[in-house]
Structures are given as C-alpha cells and as structure tokens.
A and B are shown apart, each in its own frame.
Chain A
Amino acid sequence: MSVIRFIVKRFIISIVTIFLLVTLSFFLLRTLPGNPFQTETLLTVEMQEKMMSYYGLDKPLFEQYLTYMQNLLQGDLGYSIKYRNRTVNEIIATSFPVSADLGLRALAVALPIGLFLGVLSARKRGKLTDYLCVLLSVIGVSIPSFILGSFLQYIFALKLQILPMAQWQTEWHTILPTIALALSLLAILTRVMRASMLEVMSQDYVKTAKAKGLSEGKIVRRHQIRNASIPILTMLGPMVTSVLMGTFVVEKIFALPGLGQHFINSITGLDYTVTLGLTVFFGIFMVFANFLVDIAYGIVDPRIRLMK
C-alpha cells in the first residue's frame, strides 16, 4: 500500500514539476528578443512580419501559451521553425537514439573503470597507485572536451590513421567520441568513489565486521563498496540524463547527429519550438531518472529500506 501511495505522490509531484518547467521555459524563452526567421543574409522586413504572423508569433503571448499547452497534452511538440516541415517529435526520434547510444557507451566505459579505480585508490591510500589514480582523475577533469576531442582526432585519425575521423556509422566510428566523453565522467566517478570509500572505511560497522572475523574480500564487497556507492547513485540520475541528452562539443567535433547540437543551435537560432520541446523531453527524463534512483536507493541501502 505505502509503496503505491509513494509512487502516486511522486507521480503527481512530477507532473506539477513538468508543468511549471514548461510554463517557466516558455515565458523565459519568449522574453528573448530577436527574430528567428533569419540566416546571415537578410530577409526583408515585410517578409519577416509575414512569417511571424504565419507562425502565430504575433498573437498575444498568453494565447500562444495556451495553444502550446493544448498541443503538448496531445504529445505534439509542434513544427521546427528552422527545419520547416520537420516536427520536434521527429527530431527527437532521430537524434535521441544517437545521443543515447554514445552516452551509454561512455557510461559503460566510465562507470566500471571509475568505480574500480576509486576503490583501488582508496584501499591503497597514500601509495603510488593512489597517486596515479588521483592524477588520472585530475587530468580527466582538467582538459576541456573540445581540446581533448581535437587531439584524439589529430593523433588517432589524422596521424596514425587507425580510426575514422568523424560521423556515426560503424563500431570503429564510435571509439573516439566515446573516449572523449568517457574520460571526464571516469574522472568524476573515480574521485567521488575514492572519497566515499575513505569515508565508509572508517565507519563503525566496518570495524564490527572486521571484529566478527569476516574475510577482507567480503567486507569490501558486502559492506564497503555497497555503502560507498550511495553518493554515486545520487549523482547518477543527473549524470545519466545529461550524458544521454547529448553533448554539443563532442557531437560537433565528431559530426554526430545527436540531440546536443539541436539543443544549442535551437537556442542560439531562436527556434522556439525545438528548444521548448527538448526542454520538456529533458525534464521528463530527469524526473524519471531521479525516480529510478530513489528506487535503487532502497535496494542498495538497507537503512533506507527499513525506513519505508
């Protein structure tokens, strides 16, 4: 019963959150001045006015808002202003799989390695292994991705010619962008896991387990890693969301047809419908991810399970 009530309550809160998110984004976006019907060569002013009225952008803002909300309720995110006859739903349907694919690959690389290095460096605290892990993790967060991406391309694609330069076609094409994206994730995960392990290692229940004579391996597996991964879980929700939603820099450098490019280009190009549609999609995904994380808490942390 209480589980169902918990889920229902979370669901209602999520709906309200998303509603407010859409409303706020809608009005914020429309306070941006500027004109979406432009490229670098100019349209005449009359033509711009004509286009504004064609898209209903000259109507009162609140009326436009109501129309948008009505369509949104039916799952219709509208037509892109730039890509005239493509709907935002279509754009998400073609671009999200690519971003999600790349994001999952990067996570699949970063998560196990990051956690492993974190545990390793915490257990070897103060030794050379620890310093190497820390150094790696610090380097990982210290190189901006547009520099890392360019260097990877330069070395592996242009000079050594062992991997393709760009685009998203075969398995070989996925390697460089995955590394470019995974390195910073890996670095963050290593740091958090190390800090969290160090914290857990000094806890009383670990000492108790030792006193009970549990084997070292069992203590590490059952007591330390399990408890130390709670902070990782907390950050995993937002991390997974942002990684799956695509990253502009990596997508641009490696010419990947992902969501990240649409996100940035639609904002700088004032393609209202695309920006709003992607924000809604992002919001729903984030809420859903956090919900899953909450459930995962219960599985990992016995204390939380008891509380419910």
Chain B
Amino acid sequence: MNKLFNKRFVGLSLLALLFGLAACSTTTGTETPPSENSDESNDVEQANIDQIFTFAGHNDMVSLDVSLINDEMSALIMYAINEGLVRNSYDEVVSGLADSYDISEDGLIYTFNLRDATWSDGVEVTADDFVYSFFRTLDPDTGSSQTSSFDSIVNAAAYASGELTEQSEVGIEALDDKTLQLTLAVNNPFFIDQLAQGTNFYPIRQDLVEEHGESYGSNPETFIGTGPFVLTSWEKESTIELEKNEVYWDAERITLDKVIELIIPDENTRVSMFELGDVDALYSISASQTVSFSDYGTYAGGTLQYLALNSDEGELLNNESLRKALSYAIDRESIVNAIASPGTEVAERMVDPSILIEGDPFTTLFPNSTNVPSGGDEEQALAYLEEALDQLGLSDPAELPDITYVSMDSPVHQQYAEALQENWRDKLNINVNLSILPVPQAIGALIEGDFDITLVSQSTGVNPDTLLKGFTVGNGNNYSNWENDAYSELITEQASNQDFNASMEQLQEAESILLESAATVPLWLPGSAYLVQDYVGDLHYGRQTGSIEFIYASILE
C-alpha cells in the first residue's frame, strides 16, 4: 500500500536497472580465473566479483526455533545460520562446534569437547546451550514433533512423554562449560550420523527464549545462531537474506558474503527465473522441466516410496496371493523412466542402499530382495491372480470387490497413481478406483486404515531399521496393518541386541519375511534434479539438507 504510485521508486528502479546493466558488462569484460580450491579462495582477491548467491525455494520456512522445525525449508536455512556438535559435509561427518568426541568402549557414552566458538553476537558457546536446547525440545510443554530423534538417549523418551521429570536421570549432561556427555540406551553406531543430520540437535540461547517467549524464532530479531551465516532479513513468503558471519570459527572457509533465497511457489516461474539468470540455482526440478536443460545434476536417496497394501483381517488384500499379483504386475522401470524425477532408482527392498556401515552399503552386506523384476512379470502376476481368485471362490477379476487407491493430490503422486492403475487394469484386468485427496485427508485415511492401496513416502533415516521397525504387530506406523508374530519378535530382539552384527542379521531375516508377504511393495527411491549456473562453484546437493548445500559455495566469475 505504501508503494502505491511512489514515483521515487520508479526512478530508483530505473537507476538500478541501468547500473545493473553496467555492472553486467564490466564483469563479463574483466574475468578473473576461477579459484579451484575454496579453502584458499578467501586469500585470492576477488574484489570485483560480488560473492552473492541467489537461489529459489518453493516454500517459505516455517520457523527458526530449533525445537519446533520439522520441514525441509527451515532445515535448509537453519543449517547455514546455526551449527550442531558435528556437521555433515559432502556426505561425511566432520567436526562442528565440537572439536572432538570420544565414544566409550561399549559404544554407549559419547563425550564431546566443544571448541572455542561464539554465537554471532560474540557470546561464548557452552555445553549448557546444548543441554538447554535438548531439554527444551523434549519438554512436553514445548510441543515439539521431533522428540523421537532423541530416542536413543537414556530416558529421553520418558522425559518427552512427561513420565519422568528429573533431568538428571536423562542421559544428557554438561560435565563442564566445554564438555557435553550423552549416554545412549543401546549401542547405536548410527548415532553420530543422526546428530550430524538433524537440525533439532542444534543449540539454543536460553536468554533469547526467555526474552521473547512465544515469538522466539519468528523473525530475525528474535534469533541468534552459531553458524557460518547470519540471518539479516526474512520477508515472509518472499525473501530470506543471509550474510556471512565474521565471527564463525571456520569463517576462512566461507567465500560467499551474502545468500538470498527467493520464495517462488510456481515451478514454471522458478525455471524461467533461472533461465533469465535471476537465480543461480534451483533444486527439486520435475522430470518434464529438465528436458529443456542439457546439463543438470541429480541426487537420489533419503526417501523410499512404497505401496502399503491394507492386509488387515477382513480386508480384500488380506489375501497374500492377490497382493503378490498386484506386486508382480507393476512395471516400475517404465514408470520411473517416464514420469519420475531424474535420479530416481527402482527399489528392491525396504532399506535404502545409501545407508552405510563403516563405509560399505548395508544392502551389499546383508542382501535381500522382493525378487520382482523391475519391469514386472506378467506371467507370474497372472498365476498369482488365478490362485487368489481360487481362494476367494471367484472366476473372473471383474467379480472382485472395489479396490480403492488413496493418493495425495500432488501432481507426482497423482501421476504415479494413474500409471499404477493402468498397470493393473492392463495386465490383470483389475479395476482400481483412485481417490485423490488433499494431504491431511490422505494421511487421515492412511492412519484410519480407510484404503486398500496407498503410496507411502518415508524418510529412510541413517539406521537400516528406520522403516522396518514400524511393521510390528500393533505399531501405529504399520500402515499395512499386517500382523506377523515372528517378524515382531525379531524386530524387538534386534533392537536390544548389544551384538551389532547379530542384530543386523536379525534385521535382514525380518525384512525377508516382510518382503515375502508382499504387505508392502517397495517401489523406488525418488530422486531429485537440480540446476546450477556455470559461475557457481562448490555447490553440493546432499543428505544434510536433502537439497542444496551452499555454505562452501562461491561465485567464480
């Protein structure tokens, strides 16, 4: 409203336009050789190159409150303006605010030695900042949805549920100003990866929370971080601006002076802005948009999409042969090639092949597979269908009761649903009804068991048991409502098994029971495409944020 007919604005923008053009022509004229090594790039004088990196995101971030954030957009910014004990950089765990850490023999006690780092306002970072943050997240009064990330820590879950109020009984303790000790309930070699990846493990400034109360983290004035960048401006649903944090302990490694995120919800608009050079990078580009670019990067991993087939007693898909018929009829390869984002890989099982155990993929150490060819097997599918019809006392697939496929309303999910529906109609002559629902209602149907088939998208985590532990009897995340006592026993036993190798073997055995039952049909590990302008160096796309990681990036020319 204040901008209404503001003539000065027009004048200014005209000027800016002229200057912008002038600036463009000078920079293209005087080129500096791109510095290959970002560690030294600060030593190289790059005075005539503005180290400003602009990228476009599709949604605004939700909050700056470490205890509350549970979305990709907030995590992306939080990772740049704050820092945890350890950091995931280029898909490796490196030191963060902790200089070093020790793990006890039995793998249960982690001791972190903090480095001499400060918050961006110069206040020293202490172990108490972490203790405060962790307990704040766990406190039921905070209302965090992320408390389960702390489940490995002794008594954390009990504290989070309110059963236990004594902080000293929880395995989180500041031994002194610079030493933090975390005690785990069981040996969990993936704990350090979880710490590195989760933004909920970052520290929080107690004085700021007390000063601002509920509005803590709702705008740049109420937030201070420890990360390589400082949040300077957050115009809601429009622009987020970060500037280099000069007092960051590793500031020499940071080349960018400024990072701007533009919030652009529409994909066509985003891609056009990239083409115009308004933005330097985009991520999560859909398959169809990549066609017009010859050069784009892809990234896979972190999420598994599988079909949950409602195997509850009394449901049609309680019939195992019918489930197998459906599973064998799916031509996953063609669907992935035709509509999935570039980088998507066909999944063979419920564990993400990118999960590593001391450098080796879990999936090669402990193999397993559904044995369904990625192109499907029509003969096998028809054989299973025949078997199923026999068992149900029917003679024709048309006599089968209605099968409902519940899908979220996002375009990609909808296309998957249509492609799968056609697979079943074409090969098995089974008609599946699609019910396309907005996200909250689709998830409501999933939880209520109000579906026959649905596509579930779940984060695979850093521990191979992440998805598998959900399929035990009576578990709320057992969306297939599949009940197998042998499976449940194996999963419970392996969780408390202190012998790591033996526990992984039990996990493998359990998984093969699940895959054999076809109560879930692993489909694919969705990938993602990203676009980066040539003049941006050292931009990474990785596990830390599940999208672009820009903190070590630089503008080369």
Contacts and interface: CB of A to CB of B under 8 A. Distances in A.
B262 A32 contact: no
Q: How large is the interface on B (under 10, 10 to 19, 20 to 34, 35 or more residues)?
A: 35 or more
B3 A101 contact: yes
26 contacts: A34-B438, A35-B444, A38-B439, A38-B443, A39-B70, A40-B408, A41-B458, A42-B458, A45-B476, A50-B140, A55-B143, A84-B63, A84-B65, A84-B68, A85-B214, A85-B215, A85-B217, A95-B236, A150-B268, A154-B272, A157-B276, A253-B266, A253-B269, A255-B264, A255-B265, A261-B265
Nearest to B17: A172
A171 interface: yes
Interface of B: 1-4, 6, 9-10, 12-13, 16-17, 62-63, 65, 68, 70-71, 140, 143, 145, 147-148, 161, 214-218, 235-239, 262-266, 268-269, 272-273, 275-276, 278, 303, 408-410, 438-444, 446-447, 456-459, 476-477
In this complex, the member of B4, B235, B237 whose beta carbon has the largest number of chain A beta carbons within 10 angstroms is B237
Interface stretch (A61-69, A161-169, A202-210, A285-293): A161-169
A238 interface: no
B239 A167 contact: yes
A86 B276 CA distance: 34
B273 to A, nearest CB: 5
A167 B161 CA distance: 44
A-B complex: 3 closest residue pairs judged by Cβ atoms: A45-B476, A34-B440, A257-B237
A282 to B, nearest CB: 18
In this complex, the member of B68, B215, B236, B408 whose beta carbon has the largest number of chain A beta carbons within 10 angstroms is B236
B303 A94 contact: no
A26 interface: no
A84 B140 CA distance: 15
B399 to A, nearest CB: 31
Contacts of B458: 41-42
A82 interface: yes
Contacts of A165: 269, 272-273, 276, 278
A168 B70 CA distance: 28
A58 interface: no
B217 to A, nearest CB: 6
In this complex, the member of A104, A154, A170 whose beta carbon has the largest number of chain B beta carbons within 10 angstroms is A170
B4 A157 contact: no
A304 interface: no
B145 A37 contact: yes
Given A253-B266, A255-B262, A54 B143 contact: yes
Contact of B456 (A33, A42, A104, A105): A42
Contact of B441 (A34, A91, A97): A34
A90 B272 CA distance: 31
A287 to B, nearest CB: 21
A158 B458 CA distance: 37
Contacts of A245: none
In this complex, the member of A33, A42, A164 whose beta carbon has the largest number of chain B beta carbons within 10 angstroms is A42
A136 to B, nearest CB: 25
Contacts of A1: none
A283 interface: no
A254 interface: yes
A33 B459 CA distance: 25
Nearest to B14: A172
Nearest to A173: B13
Given A46-B476, A255-B262, A257-B237, A85 B68 contact: yes
Contacts of B456: 42
Contacts of A34: 438, 440-444
B476 A270 contact: no
B476 A254 contact: no
Nearest to A262: B237
A167 B440 contact: no
A268 B438 contact: yes
B441 A33 contact: yes
Contacts of B17: 172
Contact of A171 (B10, B264, B273): B10
Given A45-B477, A161-B276, A86 B218 contact: yes
Nearest to B475: A45
Contact of A170 (B4, B9, B143): B9
Contacts of B4: 101, 104-105
A255 B273 CA distance: 11
Given A83-B63, A85-B215, A167-B262, A42 B477 contact: yes
